Chain A
Amino acid sequence: MKIRAVALLLILAVGTSIAADERDWFVPLGLPPKASPRRISAGEGVPPLPLPATPLRRTERKRQPSSATLFGKIMWGETASFTYADGGACSISDWNLCPADLQQLLQKANRNAGLAYKSEAIDLAGFHGDPAKTPVLFFSGTRTLKLSPRQADMLRAYVLSGGMIVFDSVAGSPYFYNSVKQMLASTFPDYALRTIPLDHPFYHMLYDVTKVKIPNHAPADDSPLDQVLSQDVPFMEGLYVGCRIAVLVSPCGMGCGWDDHAVPLIKQAVYYDVDSANQLGLNLAAYAVGYAEVGREESKPELFGVLDEGDPTDEFVFAQIKHDGAWNVHPGGPAALLQRLQHNTSLRVSLKRVPVLPGKDDLSSYTFLYLSGLDDFHLDPSAAAAIRSFLNGAGTLFINNGLGLKGFDRAVRRELKQILPEASLEPLPPSHPIYRGVFAVNQVRYTPAVVNKAGVFTEPVLEGITLNGDLRVIYSPYDMEAGWQGCDHPIIRGLEPESAMQLGINIAMYAMTH
């Protein structure tokens, strides 16, 4: 594009001081305005002939189907006017530098996947904060994002009640990206921003996006981000609430690609090419739709308890290990299992799960420990020792791979080596008594993502470590907890709810009776 910015007149609503280099990123990123089309015809200048009237027909009233809202594009920052080299002018706003991004993306989502949605512009000052009405908030920008404490609090409440926020650093601007990270760190201090692994459902919702193109990307430095982007793999960061990505940050621009063009006017822009951006965008739309219910379900308040060590009971207690990774993967899942356990067995069950920190909390009162996660996690030596002691004292550890991701699988095997250096996970044969406890689980049903990749198979897959002749560690590489929770988790590698529940009950019963 040869058009070059020659003038930028800021009409600042609020007086601010902006670094000169940041101001260079404040340019229009949509397609430049077109000159009015000139009518060319044989009869130019002659008024058209008047046409006769035609009937005004009424047929049976048919309602026009309306569209639900998927994205709310947040209005933030400042507005200015911009003049192109050819004299054309336009108004630009921080929040809307590429005005057609969402509109174009949603048209493609409708065309390619039958997802009929609309977007709307949202002023945070009047935002209702209800994810049921606006499932996704979308921030786009190039300059430093500034939010008031009240606005940040509102975003936190929105996310924790099931909403999703997406930040698109539309031209790959470090100013926008760094300010977003800073804002997230202060607004969500209890949630860490993590790299979304390539086997995460996000990258496979509609398209398998494991390779991308980032045009003209010249690494400016040796930052980890630059290194990743040089490998032509997608890079997204996310903040998990439960198992879902509640906040998604794309440091590499997507919006212009959705509008089917490159990022104009900014030489140092970092952005996905049109195809990559569209595939990622469509996956984003699909993910937002697919995980909306999960968001609502996992935002419901849950009953947690503490074990009264002064008054030990013979109840089955579900003690769940907290670790530095995403440990609480499917809030509500364990509670559902415990209720079913109470209904279907003669076990005395405490319906409140107990979160524990091995190495800090006393594990001697428990017979059952549960560990789950989504990606990498670490146990410090004291935690590993506490768990080792727990296992040697006839306790049972059940590990569930939330979403069935490889990163967590690697971490599990690594940490088990730390806990039990001499032992390793072995597949449990179909004849193992764990499959015969309460339910005879000869066959199970896996989620479509498993079946579509591995073909139809129905054998239950569990691995375990036996100590002194007793099975003490049970590991499910396929997610079982999502099934306990009982709502759709598209593209996860897991078990369908009924199979998950039956296996879960058998495992709990096995832990209590062995």
Chain B
Amino acid sequence: MKLTAALLFCWVSLLVLSVKAAPWHVPAADTRVRVALATNSPWPAQAGYVQVWPAALAGSNLGVTVVSEGGALVASSNLWRADGEPASLIFDTSSGASNYWIYGAESAASPAWQPAAGLILETRRRIKGPMDTWSQTRRLWEDSYPVLGHSPVPNINLGINPHGPSMDFIALFQGSLILVQGGAYQFATVSTDASFLLVDETLVSQWPGEHDAGPGRQGERQGTINLEPGRHSIQYYHVHGPENSMALAAWKPPGADRFSVIPPESFAPLARFHVTAADSAPSKKGVVYFEWETVAHTMINDLALVNMRFTAWSPDTRADFHWTFDDGTTATGRTVEHLFPRPGIRDVTLEVKENTGGSKPDNNAPRRSRQPVAVHPQWTQQDECPPALLKMYKAELAARDPNSMPMNDLIYLGRFALAIEDRPWATTLGAACLKRRKEWMPAHIEVLLNLGLNYQHPDVRDYGRAEAMFQAVLAFQPPVSAIQDKTKLRLAELWINLGRNPDQAASLLGKMDLHALTPDNQRLKKILEADTALLQGQADKAVLLYAALGNLAEQPLQTLKRRSGLESARQFLERNDVADAAELVERIEWENPAERMSAETSLIMIVIYQARREDQFALGRCLRLLNAPSLHDKDRAEVLFKLIEIYQTLGNTALAGEVHARLLSDYPYSEAAARSRDRFRK
């Protein structure tokens, strides 16, 4: 262990010495890195590829200059640069040198050198448009925007977009084939949806339109072109759809007996370089160069938790490295990993303090770099939500104090917790949000409403907090009318479900602008108005309001579907499949709200509430149902029995006893009365 540390120290020291010993070739530059040919890189090559990180610059403004070790200017071009991201560049390696200096400075200019090597992939966000012909697809490519990225790839074999989300994008591969043998070459494309392959700007094979890949997997979509030995340009266009999609280019060179994916070694080689040392200009000695990369992510519904790795370059290997992240956390060490609770451009500060080891006074001020960093998913990660990572990341973030993290992060985590249906976590985050209501912003309100709804979920049942959240959302200023109207609906619904505050619910519903609601919410409002009338004991009014929403005189098929739904719901309850039962009954009541007065439907819903331990909702439903007109005696007896059960569960034995006495007196021969007698006997 000690030997390894000593060797590493020597290696870094040598690098540092070599950096310090080299003259500063570009006076205007702020930083420089030394790059060397990577192990296993293709070589020799006419061009090289490297990534360099902006040091204390945004990223999109990073201008680079490549020079040889001797200080000669080397032709180069930016392949890609963007805020918070490392810049990719390609430079001329025809000299055969394997080490170069790359100087960085703030500059919008970008050199325009065109290399004749490698295979470069460009992807763009796809706009809608036809792709049934080559000209349509070419137009689609030209009109699609923005560009998501450029990067070198080994061959044309793409299922994942390395520059962004793997859906709705359009891709172009461009490069050069180096052929040693002339003759008739067959090229085939295999893709989901449209793809076109051009050699020397001649369309050789194509597969336009929307389709699956299966029918082309044996090279059915092919074309032939006669090629001389030497260099030939190749272009491959592919349109990726909203679902998983893929594309590959295959060939059958002269003499081959079958198609195969065009191998990487058939393209003009592009050498790969990597940073071996970094330094800042004498005038910018306070700047520290560091790199970052996405390690992994877990993503659900486009919500991502991203783990990043940061590595500092410093001549002093014994220095103290102190990292500060804009989510309120810190870390120490030359290389650290950090889990961000929200993607985006995040602010990372590195402070490096020389460690003198106590041998001499520490007079040097710490060096400090503040850097915007683009935090985004690891786009090439195949499994977007590995369960083990989800568990680990969730545990790490749940351990952070929700009262001290940035409000935007707290809200994002609230969304994430709701998306993965982690109700306890969402409950904790919701409580923190309630405490920090002074920090709320209009963009947060919809998430807060959803966190409020989480409190009334069957697994949570914290109706007090749900009401508090809804009230707080309603009190938020400036008004966010659309969300606040939704909140009014939900608060009124909560009260009605609990069988409480019917007058307040009526007043709340009366204050809403019906036309500002979505059609579904308009219907919900009307249903709630009818429910309120029923809870208030205004049965005639309720009947009219329900009737206005659904067809009371059902057609036979509707009746049958309703019966089928109720029978299935009963069977689901028998096998304890409460969720499916609830879904069926809720659909029946939504399609024909008058069912909310039906004893059969309501009694099943009451059993569902009881199974989910939503006894207060069950109580509210019983109280409403007792006000329903035309309730059959056996059903009324059954509702009274349910009330007894519910009051007993809620610990109100006095009321349970009162209802029991009423049931025996009013319906002595009912099955419900017999059951109640048994219950009380026990």
- For B553, the chain A residues whose CB sits under 8 A away are 448, 451
Interface residues in A259-301 (C-beta closer than 8 Å to B): 286, 289-290, 292-293, 300
On whether the beta carbons of A448 and B554 are closer than 8 Å, the reply is: yes
On whether the beta carbons of A292 and B567 are closer than 8 Å, the reply is: yes
A449 to B632, CA, bound (A): 21
Given contacts A51-B217, A116-B568, A135-B567, contact A343 B633 (CB under 8 A): yes
Interface residues in B638-682 (C-beta closer than 8 Å to A): 666-667, 669-671
A283 → B minimal CB distance (Å): 11
Q: Which of B258, B421, B560, B564 contacts A61 (CB 8 A)?
A: B421
Q: Which of B385, B560, B572 contacts A289 (CB 8 A)?
A: B560
Asked if A54 lies at the interface with its beta carbon under 8 angstroms from chain B, I say yes
On whether the beta carbons of A293 and B567 are closer than 8 Å, the reply is: yes
On whether the beta carbons of B567 and A63 are closer than 8 Å, the reply is: no
- For A449, the chain B residues whose CB sits under 8 A away are 556
A132 to B604, CA, bound (A): 14
A303 to B157, CA, bound (A): 78
Interface residues in B18-61 (C-beta closer than 8 Å to A): none
Q: Is the interface of A mostly helix, strand, loop or mixed?
A: loop
- For A289, the chain B residues whose CB sits under 8 A away are 560, 563-564, 567
On whether the beta carbons of B248 and A52 are closer than 8 Å, the reply is: yes
On whether the beta carbons of A46 and B567 are closer than 8 Å, the reply is: no
Given contacts A132-B570, A289-B560, A339-B667, contact A55 B258 (CB under 8 A): no
On whether the beta carbons of B567 and A58 are closer than 8 Å, the reply is: no
Q: Which of B219, B244, B383, B385 contacts A49 (CB 8 A)?
A: B219
A339 to B261, CA, bound (A): 83
Interface residues in A308-366 (C-beta closer than 8 Å to B): 332, 335-336, 339-340, 343, 351
Asked if A133 lies at the interface with its beta carbon under 8 angstroms from chain B, I say yes
- For A56, the chain B residues whose CB sits under 8 A away are 382-385
B257 → A minimal CB distance (Å): 8
Q: Chain A residue with minimal CB distance to B557?
A: A113
On whether the beta carbons of A51 and B577 are closer than 8 Å, the reply is: no
Binds B, one of A65-73, A80-88, A229-237, A380-388: A65-73
On whether the beta carbons of A53 and B633 are closer than 8 Å, the reply is: no
Q: Which of B299, B632, B669 contacts A497 (CB 8 A)?
A: B632
Given contacts A48-B217, A486-B635, contact A66 B577 (CB under 8 A): yes
Asked if A163 lies at the interface with its beta carbon under 8 angstroms from chain B, I say no
Interface residues in B131-171 (C-beta closer than 8 Å to A): 157-160, 166
Asked if A115 lies at the interface with its beta carbon under 8 angstroms from chain B, I say yes
Asked if A454 lies at the interface with its beta carbon under 8 angstroms from chain B, I say no
Given contacts A55-B166, A117-B568, contact A133 B574 (CB under 8 A): yes
Asked if A490 lies at the interface with its beta carbon under 8 angstroms from chain B, I say yes
Asked if A43 lies at the interface with its beta carbon under 8 angstroms from chain B, I say yes
Given contacts A49-B219, A293-B600, contact A498 B630 (CB under 8 A): yes
B304 → A minimal CB distance (Å): 11
A487 to B299, CA, bound (A): 50
- For A335, the chain B residues whose CB sits under 8 A away are 669
Interface string of A107-147 (1 = CB under 8 A from B): 00000011111000000000000101101000000000000
On whether the beta carbons of A448 and B556 are closer than 8 Å, the reply is: yes
A9 to B600, CA, bound (A): 53
Asked if A221 lies at the interface with its beta carbon under 8 angstroms from chain B, I say no
A491 to B539, CA, bound (A): 28
Asked if A41 lies at the interface with its beta carbon under 8 angstroms from chain B, I say yes
A185 to B159, CA, bound (A): 68
Given contacts A59-B300, A63-B579, A448-B553, contact A53 B382 (CB under 8 A): yes
A451 to B217, CA, bound (A): 61
A184 to B678, CA, bound (A): 37
Asked if A15 lies at the interface with its beta carbon under 8 angstroms from chain B, I say no
Asked if A463 lies at the interface with its beta carbon under 8 angstroms from chain B, I say no
- For B188, the chain A residues whose CB sits under 8 A away are 49
Q: Chain B residue with minimal CB distance to A43?
A: B218
Asked if B583 lies at the interface with its beta carbon under 8 angstroms from chain A, I say yes
A449 to B160, CA, bound (A): 59
Given contacts A54-B159, A59-B301, A205-B560, contact A132 B574 (CB under 8 A): yes
Asked if B78 lies at the interface with its beta carbon under 8 angstroms from chain A, I say no
Interface centre among B166, B299, B555, B570 (most CB of A within 10 A): B570
Asked if A50 lies at the interface with its beta carbon under 8 angstroms from chain B, I say yes
Interface string of A28-56 (1 = CB under 8 A from B): 00000000000001110010111111111
Asked if A57 lies at the interface with its beta carbon under 8 angstroms from chain B, I say yes
Q: Is the interface of B mostly helix, strand, loop or mixed?
A: mixed
Asked if B575 lies at the interface with its beta carbon under 8 angstroms from chain A, I say yes
Asked if B260 lies at the interface with its beta carbon under 8 angstroms from chain A, I say yes
On whether the beta carbons of A51 and B248 are closer than 8 Å, the reply is: yes
Asked if A206 lies at the interface with its beta carbon under 8 angstroms from chain B, I say yes
- For A53, the chain B residues whose CB sits under 8 A away are 159-160, 382
Interface residues in B509-548 (C-beta closer than 8 Å to A): none
- For B373, the chain A residues whose CB sits under 8 A away are none
Interface string of B254-278 (1 = CB under 8 A from A): 0000111100000000000000000
Interface string of B406-421 (1 = CB under 8 A from A): 0000000000000101
Asked if B178 lies at the interface with its beta carbon under 8 angstroms from chain A, I say no
Interface residues in B371-418 (C-beta closer than 8 Å to A): 381-385
Q: Chain A residue with minimal CB distance to B419?
A: A60
On whether the beta carbons of A303 and B556 are closer than 8 Å, the reply is: no
Asked if B559 lies at the interface with its beta carbon under 8 angstroms from chain A, I say yes
Asked if A376 lies at the interface with its beta carbon under 8 angstroms from chain B, I say no
Interface residues in B561-582 (C-beta closer than 8 Å to A): 561, 563-564, 566-568, 570-572, 574-575, 577, 579-580
A67 to B448, CA, bound (A): 35
Q: Which of A113, A132, A205, A343 contacts B571 (CB 8 A)?
A: A132
A505 to B563, CA, bound (A): 28
Q: Chain A residue with minimal CB distance to B190?
A: A49
A336 to B213, CA, bound (A): 66
Q: Chain A residue with minimal CB distance to B219?
A: A43
A46 to B366, CA, bound (A): 66
Asked if A452 lies at the interface with its beta carbon under 8 angstroms from chain B, I say yes
Interface residues in B176-209 (C-beta closer than 8 Å to A): 188, 190
On whether the beta carbons of A55 and B567 are closer than 8 Å, the reply is: no
Asked if B123 lies at the interface with its beta carbon under 8 angstroms from chain A, I say no
On whether the beta carbons of B572 and A68 are closer than 8 Å, the reply is: yes
A332 to B571, CA, bound (A): 23
Asked if B220 lies at the interface with its beta carbon under 8 angstroms from chain A, I say yes
A65 to B248, CA, bound (A): 37
Interface string of A148-175 (1 = CB under 8 A from B): 0000000000000000000000000000
On whether the beta carbons of A490 and B556 are closer than 8 Å, the reply is: yes
Asked if A488 lies at the interface with its beta carbon under 8 angstroms from chain B, I say yes
A43 to B248, CA, bound (A): 17
A497 to B250, CA, bound (A): 74
On whether the beta carbons of A488 and B563 are closer than 8 Å, the reply is: yes
Interface centre among B217, B567, B575, B579 (most CB of A within 10 A): B567
Asked if B245 lies at the interface with its beta carbon under 8 angstroms from chain A, I say yes
On whether the beta carbons of B259 and A49 are closer than 8 Å, the reply is: yes
Asked if B634 lies at the interface with its beta carbon under 8 angstroms from chain A, I say yes
- For A69, the chain B residues whose CB sits under 8 A away are 571
Q: Chain A residue with minimal CB distance to B559?
A: A490
A114 to B559, CA, bound (A): 11
Q: List 30 A-B contacts (CB under 8 A).
A: A42-B219, A48-B217, A51-B159, A51-B213, A51-B217, A52-B159, A55-B383, A56-B383, A56-B385, A58-B300, A58-B385, A59-B301, A60-B300, A63-B579, A65-B583, A68-B572, A114-B561, A132-B571, A133-B571, A133-B575, A205-B560, A206-B556, A332-B634, A339-B633, A339-B667, A339-B669, A452-B556, A488-B563, A490-B563, A497-B632
**10 other contacts beyond A67-B568, A113-B561, with CB at 8 A cut-off?**
A52-B246, A54-B160, A55-B159, A56-B382, A68-B571, A114-B557, A133-B571, A292-B567, A339-B669, A448-B553
Chain A interface (Cβ < 8 Å from any Cβ of B): 41-43, 46, 48-61, 63, 65-69, 113-117, 130, 132-133, 135, 205-206, 286, 289-290, 292-293, 300, 303, 332, 335-336, 339-340, 343, 351, 448-449, 451-452, 486-488, 490-491, 497-498
- The list of the 7 closest CB pairs from A to B, nearest first, reads A43-B218, A52-B159, A486-B632, A48-B217, A68-B568, A58-B385, A54-B244
